[in-house]
Every structure is written in C-alpha cells, then in structure tokens.
Amino acid sequence: MDYILNLILLLVAAKLFGEVSERVGFPSVLGYIFAGVIAGPMLLNFAAPHDIAVFAELGIILMLFVTGFQQGNVDELMKDFPAIMRVSILGFVFPFIAALIVGFAFNIPLNYLLLLALIVSATDSGITIRSIASVNMLATRAGKIMLGVTVSDGMMGLIAFTAVITYLRIGGIDLFEMGSVIAMIAVFMGLFLAMQRIVPWLVEKIEHLSVEQAEFSFAFVFMIAVGLLAEQFGLHGIIGAFLAGTLLARSRIGQTQFINKISSISYAIFIPLFFVWTGLLLNLSDITFMSFVLVFAVLAANAIGAYWASIMNGMSVRDRLMTSLTMLPRGDVNLIIASIGVTLVDLNGNLVLPKEVGELFYSTAMLLVIMAALITFIGLKVFVKTKGDTSANG
C-alpha cells in the first residue's frame, strides 16, 4: 500500500509542479523533474528511483513511440531540405565539438567523452516547437525550417546514439565486432522495411475484430515487440519503439484517433513519472566546475552554429536570432541518453561508465536542461518585447 501511495503522491506532485512551471513560462518537464528532486534523497526522501523504475521505463518507450508516430509523415515538413539540413548539422556538430574540446581540457577519456558530447548536443523537439509557437512564427519560413529541423535532428540523434552506444558496448574499435553489430543492425532495418508492407495488412485484419479496443491493444503490443526485437539485434529498445511509431503512422491507425488515446495515457501517467524518476536520481554534489564550463560552451556553440546556418539560408537578423534561441532547448532526449548511459553495460555485462562518471554526466545533463530553459525563456521574452516595440514604432 505504501508503494501505491508514493506513486499517487509523485504523480500529483508532478502535475502540480508541471502546472506551476507552465504558468511561469517554462516547459512542464522542469516541474516534473523538480517534483522528483523534492521527493528524492536530496530533500524529503520519501521515494527512491526504484519505486517507479518500471513506470519510468514505459515512459521512455511511450515517449519515443509517440514521437515516431507524430513524425511518421514528414514529407511536408522537409520541403526546404537544404536549409533544414544546414541548421540541423551545424546546430549539432558545433556543440558536439565544443563538448569534445571541454572534455579534453578536463582530461575525460575519449570513450566516456563521446557519450557526454552526445548527451549535451541533442536538442528537444517538443520544447523547440513550443518555443516557436510562443513567438507566433510557426507559419513563417524560419518557423517551418525549425519544424523540419526537429524531424532531422531526431533522425541524426538516432543515428549518432546508435553509433556511440554500439561503440561503447563493444569497448573500442574492433573491426570484426563492429562489422557484426553493423550487420545485425542492417538485418533489423531489413526487417523494418519488410514490416512496412506487413503492418498495414495486419491493421486491416485487426479492424474487423469485435473485441473492444483491438487496434489499441495491437499497437501497444507491437510497440513493445519491436522494441524487444531491436534489442535482440544490438539496438536499444527505444529505437525500436520510435520505428514502431513511424510504421503505425503510415497504416490505417494513423487515420484514426489512436494518437490522441495513446498520447493521453502517456502524458497523463508514464511520461511525467519518467521525468520524476530523473529528478529522483539528481544529486547536486555531482555537479562540478567542469559541468558549468561545458554547459555554457555547448549552448554558445549551439547558438553560433544555428546563427551561421541561418546566414547561409538568407534569413533576416530577427529570424537568425529566433533560430538560435529555439535551437537551445534541451529536455527528454538528453535525459533519456543520460539515463541509458548510467545503466549501459558492455558485452560482458559490466557497466560501461564507472558509477561516479555516470552520476557526473547525468547531473551535467540536468544542469544543461535547466540552464537552456532559463536562457531560452529570457531570450524569447526579450524577443517578443522588442518585436512588439518595433511594431508599435512602425
């Protein structure tokens, strides 16, 4: 009974702090994390990460599944492909290089540093979209480019994540092992392509079943099954969940209200509990001077890369600034990679990262999420104010 009570208290706290966070202009993610920090060992200490670990794991899977489903048809977003790729590539490569430079300066070993650079380089598509909407620029060319960037960033992050995790699991560059892993990934992707033909047929058959919510049950089981299949082929389960979402989005399920149902359940319970779980893991004593240097170097590099790409795309100064600001947010993707990195094991079943290194990386990711949200929030407030002043003077 205590377990259930703690679960209810954590969920209620998540929603309360999420609402407060939204009301002051920050993403609800920060409120969920703060609820975990308060409930965890740093303050009240009435809950521990293992209390909601299963819910948190389902939250990660559902988050990537919903993202894949929502991005299943990206043709419309990717019309301005060259401009999108300039922003996406420079906005990822610049902070990645900045992280490597800072890491080398603080003598972090390369195999650990690759994971750290990946953790801090990925952007948060959900917060990016909300940031663009907050300045009423979704319909502009700059806004449409940034919407396309959220898709391309997701794909790039998926590829980089797979490459780094595979490298860390193998424990170095072993050409035979690396070749075996690549071959297994290729086989899995071949199965994925085959499923593109099979899934629509399956969905059509399931539509004729009389049992209630058959499509919903099938989609949930399919999501878990593809995630498990991905793990059998050396990928992480969340990649399988993402791809499962893209497959179902192209079937007849994509034309129903399914996404509203699964999103409601996911964002009502499981996804908030994932972020509460991340807050329960936080320990401020793990944050070091290197963490602050890294965070500011990465955010500066991110803004410079996005601004440079915007110049190449022929944008106005205002649109360049908006693009730079909306490329800063970090959130679920960074925390997912960080949480996976903390628990990642090699082929022998040993932790890839020493416990203290994993805790440092995780706390650095948390600091990055918070600082990026603050800078974006303040920057966009200034952006809206100056835009209003310009309109009034005009």
pLDDT greater than 90 at residue 308:
yes
Q: What number is the average pLDDT over the span 355-373?
A: 82
pLDDT at 272 over 60: yes
Instruction: Report whether 335 contacts 369 (CB < 8 A).
Output: yes
**What is the predicted pLDDT for the residue at 230?**
82
Q: Measured between alpha carbons, how far apart are the two ends of the chain, in Å?
A: 64
- Categorise residue 124: left if φ over 0, alpha if ψ from -120 to 50, beta otherwise: beta
On the question of pLDDT at 356 being above 70, the answer is yes
**Which tokens is 223 given?**
């999501």
Q: Answer whether 64's CB lies under 8 Å from 224's CB.
A: no
Does residue 66 have a pLDDT over 80? yes
- Top mean pLDDT of 45-54, 268-277, 296-305, 311-320 is at 296-305
**CA distances in angstroms from 136 to 39, 131, 323, 380, listed in the order given:** 37, 9, 13, 11
- Mean pLDDT, residues 202-216 taken together: 82
Strand partners, 354: none
Q: What is the pLDDT of residue 366?
A: 81
Quote the pTM value: 0.67
How far is residue 213 from each of residues 206, 218, 225, 247, 331, measured CA to CA in Å?
10, 9, 18, 19, 32
pLDDT of 137 reads 65
pLDDT score of 144 more than 80: no
Q: What is the mean pLDDT of the chain?
A: 79
Q: Is the pLDDT of residue 297 over 80?
A: yes
Per-residue pLDDT for 142 more than 60?
A: yes
Query: Of 2-6, 40-44, 134-138, 274-278, which gets the smallest average pLDDT?
Result: 134-138
Q: What is the pLDDT of residue 16?
A: 94
CB-based contacts of 363, cutoff 8 Å, min separation 6:
282, 283, 284, 286, 287, 291
Distance CA(130)–CA(378), nearest Å, equals 14
Residue 353 has pLDDT above 80, yes or no: no
Q: Alpha helix (H) ranges present in the chain?
A: 2-23, 28-39, 53-70, 81-105, 110-121, 125-134, 141-170, 175-206, 214-232, 237-249, 258-265, 271-281, 289-312, 317-326, 332-343, 355-393
The overall longest dimension of the chain from CA atoms, in Å, is: 67
**What torsion, rounded to 10 degrees, do the Cα atoms 297, 300, 302, 304 define?**
-130
pLDDT digits over 281-291, tens only? 777 777 889 99
The pair of structure tokens assigned to 62 is 């559902």
Sign of the Cα torsion 96, 100, 106, 111 reads: positive
Residue 181: what pLDDT?
64
Asked if the model's pLDDT at residue 198 lies above 60, the reply is: yes
Q: What's the CA gap between 317 and 324, in Å, rounded?
A: 11
Mean pLDDT (whole number) for 238-243: 78
Q: What percent of the chain lies above the pLDDT cut of 90?
A: 10
What CA–CA distance (Å, rounded) separates 348 from 177? 13
pLDDT of the residue at 101: 94
Give the pLDDT score at 20. 92
Q: What is the mean pLDDT of residues 185-190?
A: 80
Asked if CATH classification 3.50.50.60 holds for the domain at 50-384, the reply, yes or no, is no
Q: Do 302 and 94 touch, CB atoms closer than 8 A? A: yes
371 φ/ψ angles, rounded to the nearest 5 degrees: -65, -40
Burial of residue 288, with CB atoms counted within 10 A of its CB: 0-12 exposed, 13-18 middle, 19 or more buried:
middle
* pLDDT of amino acid 299: 92
Tell me the mean pLDDT in the region 207-224: 84
Whether pLDDT at 146 is above 90: no
pLDDT tops 90 at residue 15 = yes
The per-residue pLDDT for 105 is 93
Domain ranges of the chain: 50-384
> Shortest CA distance to 253 belongs to which of 392, 40, 65, 386?
65
Model confidence band, residue 389 (pLDDT cutoffs 50, 70, 90): low
> pLDDT at residue 267 above 90?
no
The pLDDT, as a whole number, for residue 177 is: 59
Question: Taking Cα atoms as reference points, which of 66, 88, 95, 1 lies closest to residue 365?
Answer: 95
Is residue 359 scored above 60 in pLDDT? Answer: yes
* Least confident piece of the model among 108-112, 215-219, 336-340: 336-340
Are 218 and 206 contacting, i.e. CB atoms less than 8 angstroms apart? yes
Residue 295: what pLDDT?
92
